[in-house]
Structure 1
Amino acid sequence: MYELAILARGGVLLTVWALAAGWPPGRLAARLRRDGWQRICRGAWAVPGKETDWRVRETALQLLRPQRICRHVTAARVHRIELLTGPPPADSRSSLAPGDVCLRRGLRVTTAARTVADLIRASGSREAAVVTADSALSRRVVEGVRRDPLTGYEDLAAQLSVRRPGAPRARAWLRLANPAAGSPAETVARLRMADASLHPECQPQVRTPRGQTLRPDFLFRAAGLAVEVEGYAYHGTPRAHERDVARFNALQSCPEIRRVLRFTAREVFTDPTRMTTTIAASLTDLALLGPVT
């Protein structure tokens, strides 16, 4: 008989593997208890000391059921696509073409384009749909990992051209996507500003007098008004706070910028009217100075 740790794959042991290797059921159960193996689900165990998070559970389920494929919210987690809210559960009866499935992070999963299309169709709001699309289309840091864009606009449009429930509404929402967005809060801020007839540039390049290139979240160039949206992990550490202060000072030194407004993600999500009213008032004030030259 092989040792159980040798039989495990990716830190997961299936009961059927141990039985096939000659372990008697009673002796196997005693060894699993004695050595501290963690039960993931019926017929699957995690090696002692391994954290049984969602990835370990999904790995076990796919080992038990080779036909299983991660979809919807689980697929978004695998791809590191940010979501605003979770859509309804996936319809397990809908079919998948071979080209809609890939292997990512060791799991069988719907491709990024198919995942985003499914999520947008199932979204309950414009904000949730566009946040999902922006996240997949942009280069950004998610869960501490810097990743490249996961798909392109054309691929998403092709997925949504297929006749499926929710596709017409999803196509309208896709047209609101902008790959320049850097976070869910920026996406929602952009949508709320558009609702108030405010249309800034997103992530434009500006330069300090010393030649440093910066990208404010939003810029009303004619007025010289920059708008910054602080993410969920605002500051976090003293060093991050120092970088934030330095960035704020650098932005204010740019010839294109006369004023910088800053809003927290919480303000964007819970009180967007206050944000847009403040921006509109600043634009009115700055208009008295004439356009930035």
Structure 2
Amino acid sequence: MYELAILARGGVLLTVWALAAGWSRGRLTGCLRREGRQGICRGAWAAPGKEVDWRVRATALQLLRPELVCSHRTAARLHRIELLGEDGGRARPGLLEFTAPASSRSTRSTRGDRNGARNTDRNTDRIHATSFLKDRDWSVRRGLRTTTPARTVGDLIRSCGNREEAVVAADSALTRRAVGGVRRDPLVRYEELAAELAAPRPGGPRARAWLPLTEAASGSPAESVARLRIRDAGLFPESQPALRAAEGRVLRPDFLFREAGLAVEVEGYAFHGTRRAHDRDVARFNALQTCPEIRRVLRFTAREVFAAPDRMTATIRAALTL
């Protein structure tokens, strides 16, 4: 009979592994208590002192149910795709989402909601049952079976509740970004997203209508939403144009109304982070005003973009008439 520590994988122990190794249920229960192991979900235990975060829970659930594939917002976290909630307050960080074949045990043994998603062992976790999950739709990412970036964004756009959420996710995947302190290259091309959304699936027509609103040059979720709000107001600036400051370096303002010489900058909540980053931002702001194309710069915070978009667009419109 093996010790429990030997049976565990990555700090996760399944009850079925211990029973298969010869442990009786009574002896196993006593040992789990004495060692101080933590329950992750039914049938899965974490090592004493191990932080049971979302990745540990996802690992345990995939060990218990090999048919589960991380998808939607969970896959977005693994791929470092930014979502609207990261700037707009709508994300649910504790939520785990998976996709599984509709005929699998996981989808048969759990109760679905109106959107076809089903609860797992925790009320906050969901399983999306589908008949459209092929081997090419997923790979292993950071140790977890995860939908590919194209499939992840496609799922998010097809299932999300509004245009802003869809465009924010797509913009992030299309763009080179620094997310969570990690720089990454673009995850998907526009053509790949178009091909993913061409499949006849629920939510497809609406998703295909939103896809042309994406912009690969967008730099943050707040900037994506600002662009949509500005265009809703009948204003159509350039996004991230390359300008040269007097000192010679190339700068890219978020938006530029070239004829009016007006640049518009949007700052996310976590834009500065440190005093050094704030100093760089001040220097960049000053340098931006030395570009020959620019006569005036407007700056808006993410809070203004999300909470008072009409005021933002009115300020821009007034500046354009000066």
Scaled by the length of structure 1, the TM-score of the pair is 0.91
CA apart distance, 1:25: 2.9
Q: What SS does the aligned partner of 1:175 have?
A: helix
> 2:5 — aligned with what?
5
1:143-182 Cα deviation digits (max 9, x unpaired): 2221111111111111111111121111110011111111
Residue in 2 that maps onto 1:283: 320
Q: Which amino acid aligns with 1:116?
A: V
Q: Report the number of matched residues.
A: 285
Q: Which residue number in structure 2 is paired with residue 243 of structure 1? A: 280
Q: Deviations over 1:192-213 (max 9, x none)?
A: 1111121111111122212122
Q: Within 2, Cα distance between the matches of 1:170 and 1:24?
A: 52
Please give the secondary structure, in 2, of the residue aligned with 1:109.
strand
Partners of 1:58 and 1:216 lie apart in 2 by 39
Distance 1:71 1:234 in 2: 28
2:14 touches 2:44 (CA, 8 Å); kept in 1?
yes
Partner residue in 1 for 2:265 = 228
Structure 2: state its 5+ residue gaps.
85-89, 92-96, 98-114, 118-126
Which residue of 2 is the match for residue 58 of structure 1? 58
Structure 2 equivalent of residue 125 of structure 1: 162
Does residue 218 (structure 1) correspond to residue 266 (structure 2)? The answer is no
Of 151, 157, 161, the residue aligned with 1:114 is 151
Please report how far the alpha carbon of residue 94 of structure 1 lies from its aligned counterpart in structure 2 after TM superposition: 3.4
Match of 1:270 in 2: 307
Structure 1 segment 159-174 matched on structure 2, within 5 A: 159-174=196-211
Q: Which residue is 1:82 aligned to?
A: 82
* 1: CA distance, partners of 2:25 / 2:79: 38
Select 1:182's aligned residue among 202, 219, 231: 219
Which residue of structure 2 aligns with residue 193 of structure 1? 230
Deviation at 1:268, TM superposition (A): 0.5
Which secondary structure does the structure 2 equivalent of 1:27 belong to?
helix
**Would the aligned equivalents of 2:268 and 2:301 in 1 still touch at CA under 8 Å?**
yes
Identity %: 71
Q: Which residue number corresponds to residue 71 of structure 1?
A: 71
SS at match of 1:29: helix
Partner-residue secondary structure (3-state), 1:149: coil
Determine the C-alpha separation between the residues in 1 that align with 2:25 and 2:201.
48
Alignment of 1:103 with 2:140, yes or no, is yes
Q: CA offset at residue 29 of structure 1?
A: 2.3
Q: Residue 19 of structure 1: CA displacement?
A: 2.5
Q: CA RMSD, aligned part only?
A: 1.8
Instruction: Give the Cα separation in 2 of the matches to 1:82 and 1:209.
Output: 34
Equivalent position to 1:143, from 150, 169, 180: 180
Aligned partners of 2:23 and 2:189: how far apart in 1? 50
Q: CA deviation at 1:14?
A: 1.1
Instruction: List runs of 5+ in structure 1 lacking aligned partners.
Output: 286-293
Higher alpha-carbon deviation: 266-275 or 247-256? 247-256
* Deviation (angstroms), 1:235: 2.7
Shifted more, 37-46 versus 66-75: the winner is 66-75
Task: Report the CA distance between 1:9 and its aligned residue.
Answer: 1.4
Q: How high is the TM-score relative to the length of structure 2? A: 0.83
The residue that corresponds to 2:40 in the other structure is: 40
The residue number in structure 1 matching 2:107 is none
Task: Kindly state the Cα deviation for residue 256 of structure 1 after the two structures are TM-superposed.
Answer: 2.1
Q: Which string of whole-angstrom CA distances, capped at 9 and with x for unpartnered residues, describes residues 13-71 of structure 1?
A: 11222233333333332232222221101111111222111111010000011111112
Write the deviation string for residues 117-141 of structure 1: whole angstroms up to 9, x where unpaired. 1111112211111111111111112
CA contact (8 A) 2:246 2:287 kept: no
Output one character per residue of 1:73-108: Cα deviation in whole Å (capped at 9) or x when no partner. Answer: 222222222222569646414331221121111111
Q: Distance in 2 between matches of 1:179 and 1:272?
A: 22
Q: Which residue of 2 aligns with 1:289?
A: none
Q: Which moved more, 1:44-53 or 1:235-244?
A: 235-244
Cα deviation for residue 237 of structure 1 reads 2.7
Which amino acid letter does the alignment assign opposite residue 239 of structure 2?
Answer: C
